[in-house]
Amino acid sequence: MAAYFSEDTHPEMEKYVIKPIFSREGANVSIVENGKVVEAVEGPYGEEGTIVQAFYPLPKFGDSYTLIGSWLINDQPAGIGIREDRALITQDLSRFYPHIFVE
């Protein structure tokens, strides 16, 4: 997926996401389409700079968008977390379903 530092020259994209270099759980994320912000979440991050990333839609099941994150410990899979929300940008108050891998 194409991603660039905001201050660097990059090709024009019809739909993209602007997000802080350091952030968490959707804070300070904006979705831009045809030059207009169509969805955004405020937060305390972004002073260190932002990146521009090509937009890739999350899968939607029923009325919820779903995001799957993974954890690695010593390069080995240790668990996944499923975060769901009615909004396209998942946040800290989104539903969260943790899963741990046990041998």
- Both 50 and 71 in one domain: the answer is no
- Both 64 and 49 in one domain: the answer is no
pLDDT digits (tens, 9 = 90+) for 21-75: 999 999 999 999 999 999 999 999 999 999 999 999 999 999 999 999 999 999 9
DSSP state of 13: -
- Both 7 and 48 in one domain: the answer is yes
Tallying the residues shown for the chain, one arrives at 103
Q: Is the pLDDT of residue 103 over 80?
A: no
Token pair recorded at residue 95: 């539903």
Number of neighbouring beta carbons within 10 Å of residue 83: 21
Domains: count for the chain: 2
Record the pTM: 0.84
Per the structure, the complete domain to which residue 14 belongs is given by 3-54
- Both 45 and 64 in one domain: the answer is no
Cβ burial of 103 (10 Å; 0-12, 13-18, 19+) is: exposed
